[in-house]
Amino acid sequence: MKTKTISMFFSLCLLSSGAPLAADEAKASAGNVTVVFDHPENFADVKDFYMATDKGRDAILADLRKFIVDRASSYLREGQKLEVKFTDIDLAGEFEPQRGPEFMDVRIMKDIYPPRFDFEFKLTGADGKVLNEGKRRLSDPFYTDRLVPFRDDPLCYDKDVLNDWLTQDIKSKAAAH
């Protein structure tokens, strides 16, 4: 029942966060990292419960945005900029309502439910020159085998997959220029 408790606690924290996604988006793009979610209402799975809510989705996306902005900002040099536009997200795990009503808010983590992120990105130098850009479809079918820090974070697997990409495609390219 620890997972259910964590899931319920996370959902309550998300729902009470108070900051709408639009305000967070403006704040995120004010610095050197911009993260945009293109039509998040059409994303495969960014749900806080089996029956998703807009407020829960926005809170989850705000948490992912903050993670990317914080991590990427620490990798960029003076004047470098990163733009990321997500076109689809499928969070790690899945809700399995067939387990009964007490599991409607519990995300079950299994290898058959890997996280997936579809996005475009562009990293530019202080001179405006493109240092790295492209489209990515990140996924890890073996995500449950990862030794992730902060396992009490419901997005720990998702953030770990994104962190691998940030380290490979952003940190290495930003440091080289």
Helices (DSSP H) in the chain: which residue ranges?
A: 2-15, 21-28, 54-75, 156-165, 172-176
The amino acid at 66: K
If phi > 0 it is left, if psi is from -120 to 50 it is alpha, else beta; for residue 92 that is beta
Q: Is the separation of the CB atoms in 80 and 73 below 8 Å?
A: no
Domain that holds residue 59: 2-176
Q: Is the separation of the CB atoms in 62 and 21 below 8 Å?
A: yes
Measured distance CA(150)–CA(157) in Å, rounded: 10
Strands (E), 38-168: 81-90, 94-95, 107-108, 116-124, 130-139
- Overall domain count for the chain: 1
Q: Which residues of the chain have pLDDT under 50?
A: 1-30
- pLDDT score recorded for residue 92: 96
